[in-house]
């Protein structure tokens, strides 16, 4: 575009940022519509259908409503933090997207790059560093609201996010070891180069499961939305928020879901790679568009799965939530990392990873069965002693 | 009294097997259920303003005051409905019937029914000896002020005109005659079921033929 390569790069970067921001915000609004429609279908309802045909203009109406509604800032809040919190929530999740490749980077047209910050060697670390800042939005929001429900919600959120950071990071460690890099682009091209059987999900199915679960918990969505569960905490951390500030929290949440889905697709399902139509070598005209669509389809599938899960699984109890992170996911992720290190160190075939993952999964199941059996047995013993809390012994 | 632990029936939670402990089958089964609702989509929603519900025959909606065969108000101002009404929302002022109406003694000079206070129990319809007041199938009642929904005699009669041709609100009879009990010139004295002092009776007449507080003042409130 410009003669000066520096200026050119700047222009392309700005253009990419504009495209990504527009794309994410647009997708967010329509994801909300999709979620409302999907939940309506699952519950045998119709869902929004009044604004435009089939309700397609509903997100626009919602947006206008959010902008025009009175923006209440209660008297008792800490004004600065109260206003900063929702912006942190959106800002950090959007920032994380800057190192995620959202198309075939090497085939990008010259006016657009499929990644905002290319060749970031610490891509994964950057993502985790930035997304774990997102919880500050929630904690500060709840704290600044000066409301007990909000404070409880943000306390829960901090405990939950801190716990789930660990399995989240550890599940990815195996993949980083396998590829010998933390650069998302390289990981993607590596997988694409070795065909369908190169997708990481074949070698790291357990890591994929752990990553998906932990990422779901990170984004504070059902069944992990303890921070905002209406039955116990009114609205949780966003009880005191109204109009666009409230909407920002939701944009943050949906952006998080989008980023997570991109990560799942890129890290475990080969990104834009699909046999025959989108191979690493396919360079026919418009190949980049096909690859873009393939990636978008994978991401969409992942998002729909997240939404389906939301309406399928009931919310966890808080001790179950913590138990899942500390007693199940972290040991499993740790064992998985050890497995990957062994396989790499001794130069075994990668298929041992698959077998090892399945074995670990089975072991976890067997331990789970035994744990619950011994818990029941413990209760039997209490009964055998004739102890009853209502009758004092003797 | 605390119960002995021997008397307690202990309910065992079922032993969980390997697959339950891994959670996955339950999640997959749940996903199948939710997905089945999407693929076999049978919404139960009624698109209300476009799609009217079909109400049961005995639905109780807005009242109407029926007309007899000469188009006159059928009500004979006997006050039975106002007495029966548990919400106390019917206010009738009786007046002597005009001389050209030889078949009755009285007629309602004013008949005010507060549709907002009414609980639509249908007791007035049960009580009326001449089938003058009836509940119709109209349910979508709106008004901009509360006073708009306090219906007077003419409004209640106009609801009759509106609904008399609707097969769901059939007019049972056009005759405005009292039943055989009206033939008694003098009612046999029957002792009250409970000894309620006259001052404490619900139906305390403030003026001859008026039950309850004056409807005019009520309406003005
Ligand atoms: S329906 Fe019941 S509450 Fe309503 S006016 Fe008749 S008797 Fe009173
Ligand atoms: S019971 Fe019937 S006749 Fe008697 S006052 Fe009421 S509507 Fe009129």
Dump pLDDT digits (tens) for A208-261.
888 888 888 887 777 887 777 777 777 777 788 888 888 888 888 888 888 888
A5-40: per-residue pLDDT in tens? 777 778 878 888 888 888 888 888 888 888 888 888
How far is ligand 2, taken at its centre, from the CA of residue B112, in Å? 12
Three-class SS of residue A390? coil
- Cα–Cα–Cα angle for A271, A277, A279, nearest 5°? 55
Nearest ligand 1 atom to alpha carbon B122? 1
Q: Which CATH number fits domain B63-182: 3.50.40.10, 3.40.190.10, 2.40.50.100, 3.30.70.3270?
A: 3.30.70.3270
In angstroms, what separates the C-alpha of A254 from chain B's closest C-alpha?
A: 21
How do the domains of chain B map onto residue ranges? 63-182
**Are A222 and A142 in contact, with CB atoms under 8 Å apart?**
no
Q: B112-132 pLDDT, tens per residue?
A: 999 999 999 988 888 888 888
Average pLDDT over residues B6-28: 77
pLDDT on residue B221: 46
In the predicted structure, residue A53 carries a pLDDT above the cut 70:
yes
A108 vs A59, higher pLDDT: A59
Contact A216, A209 (CB under 8 A): no
User: Which residues surround ligand 1 with Cβ inside 6 Å?
Assistant: B 84-87, 89-90, 113, 118-124
- Note whether residue A66 is domain-resident: yes
Q: Give, in order, the Cα–Cα distances in Å from B18 to each of A282, A364, A369, B81, B143.
A: 45, 9, 6, 69, 63
pLDDT digits (tens, 9 = 90+) for A123-137: 788 888 888 888 888
Residue B178 pLDDT > 60, yes or no? no
Ligand 2 center to residue B82 CA distance, Å?
A: 8
pLDDT for A383 equals 60
d(CA A337, CA A333): 6
pLDDT band of A295, cuts 50, 70, 90: confident
Q: What is the pLDDT of residue A394?
A: 47
CB contact under 8 A, A387 and B5: yes
Indicate the length of chain B as a whole number: 221
- B4 touching A (Cβ < 8 Å): yes
pLDDT digits (tens, 9 = 90+) for A71-116: 888 888 888 888 888 888 888 888 888 888 777 776 666 667 777 7
- The verdict on residue A335 lying in a domain is yes
Contact A96, A124 (CB under 8 A): no
pLDDT tens string B150-168: 999 888 888 888 888 877 7
Percentage of chain A lying above the pLDDT 90 cut = 0
Answer whether residue B60 shows pLDDT above 50. yes
Nearest to B141 by CA among B131, B153, B150: B150
**What is this structure's pTM?**
0.73
pLDDT bracket for residue B183 (50, 70, 90): low
| Total of domains in chain A | 1
Q: State both tokens at A328.
A: 């199940």
The answer to whether residue A322 is domain-embedded is: yes
Predicted-assembly ipTM surpassing the 0.90 threshold: no
What domain range includes position A146?
5-348
Q: Please give the pLDDT value at position B174.
A: 62
- Residue A373 belongs to some domain of the structure: no
**Which one is predicted more confidently, B213 or B161?**
B161
pLDDT category at B144 given cuts 50, 70, 90 is: very high
Counting Cβ atoms within 10 Å, is residue B130 exposed (0-12), middle (13-18) or buried (19+)? buried
């Amino acid at each position: 575009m410009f003669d000066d390569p520096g200026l050119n790069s700047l222009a392309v970067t700005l253009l990419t940022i504009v495209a990504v921001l527009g794309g994410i915000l647009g997708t967010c609004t329509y994801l909300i519509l999709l979620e409302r429609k999907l939940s309506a279908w699952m519950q045998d309802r119709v869902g929004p259908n009044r604004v435009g045909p089939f309700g397609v203009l509903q997100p626009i109406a919602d947006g206008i409503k959010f902008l025009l509604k009175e923006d209440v800032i209660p008297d008792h809040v800490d004004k600065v933090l109260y206003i900063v919190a929702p912006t942190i929530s959106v800002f950090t999740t959007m920032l994380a997207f800057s190192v995620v490749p959202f198309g075939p980077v090497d085939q990008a047209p010259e006016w657009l790059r499929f990644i905002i910050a290319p060749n970031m060697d610490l891509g994964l670390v950057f993502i985790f560093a930035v997304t774990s800042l997102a919880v500050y939005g929630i904690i500060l929001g709840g704290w600044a609201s000066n409301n007990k429900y909000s404070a409880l919600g943000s306390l829960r959120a901090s405990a939950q996010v801190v716990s789930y950071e660990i399995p989240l990071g550890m599940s990815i460690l195996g993949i980083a070891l396998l590829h010998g890099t933390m650069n998302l682009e390289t990981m993607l091209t590596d997988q694409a180069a070795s065909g369908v059987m190169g997708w990481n999900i074949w070698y790291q199915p357990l890591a994929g499961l752990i990553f998906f679960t932990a990422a779901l918990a990170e984004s504070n969505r059902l069944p992990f939305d303890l921070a905002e569960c209406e039955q116990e905490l009114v609205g949780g951390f966003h009880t005191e928020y109204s109009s666009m500030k409230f909407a920002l929290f939701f944009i943050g949440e949906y952006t998080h879901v989008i980023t997570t889905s991109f990560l799942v697709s890129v890290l475990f399902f080969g990104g834009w790679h699909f046999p025959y139509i989108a191979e690493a070598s396919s360079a026919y005209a418009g190949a980049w568009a096909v690859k873009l669509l393939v990636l978008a389809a994978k991401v969409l599938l992942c998002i729909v799965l997240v939404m389906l899960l939301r309406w399928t699984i009931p919310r966890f109890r808080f001790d179950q939530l913590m138990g899942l992170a500390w007693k199940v996911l972290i040991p499993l992720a740790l064992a998985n990392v050890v497995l990957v290190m062994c396989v790499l160190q001794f130069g075994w075939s990668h298929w041992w990873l698959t077998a090892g993952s399945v074995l670990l999964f089975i072991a976890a199941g067997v331990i789970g069965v035994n744990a619950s059996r011994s818990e029941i047995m413990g209760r039997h013993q209490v009964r055998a002693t004739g102890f009853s809390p209502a009758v004092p012994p003797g | 009294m605390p119960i002995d632990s021997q008397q307690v029936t202990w309910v065992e939670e079922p032993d969980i097997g390997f697959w339950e402990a891994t959670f996955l089958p339950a999640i997959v089964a749940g996903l199948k259920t939710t997905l089945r609702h999407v693929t076999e989509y049978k919404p139960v929603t009624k698109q209300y303003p476009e799609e009217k519900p079909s109400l049961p025959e005995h639905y109780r909606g807005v009242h109407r005051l029926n007309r007899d065969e000469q188009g006159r108000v059928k009500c004979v101002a006997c006050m039975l409905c106002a007495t029966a009404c548990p919400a106390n929302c019917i206010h009738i002022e009786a007046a002597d019937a005009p001389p050209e109406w030889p078949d009755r003694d009285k007629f309602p000079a004013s008949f005010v029914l507060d549709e907002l206070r009414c609980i639509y129990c249908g007791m007035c319809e049960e009580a009326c000896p001449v089938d003058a007041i009836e509940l119709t199938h109209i349910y979508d009642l709106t008004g901009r002020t509360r006073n708009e929904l306090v219906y007077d005699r003419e409004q209640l009669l106009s609801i009759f005109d509106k609904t008399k041709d609707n097969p769901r609100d059939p007019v049972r009879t056009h005759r405005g005659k009292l039943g055989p009990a009206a033939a008694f010139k003098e009612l046999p004295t029957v002792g009250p079921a409970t000894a309620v002092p006259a001052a404490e009776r619900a139906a305390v007449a403030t003026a001859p033929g008026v039950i309850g507080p004056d409807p005019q003042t009520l309406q003005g409130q």
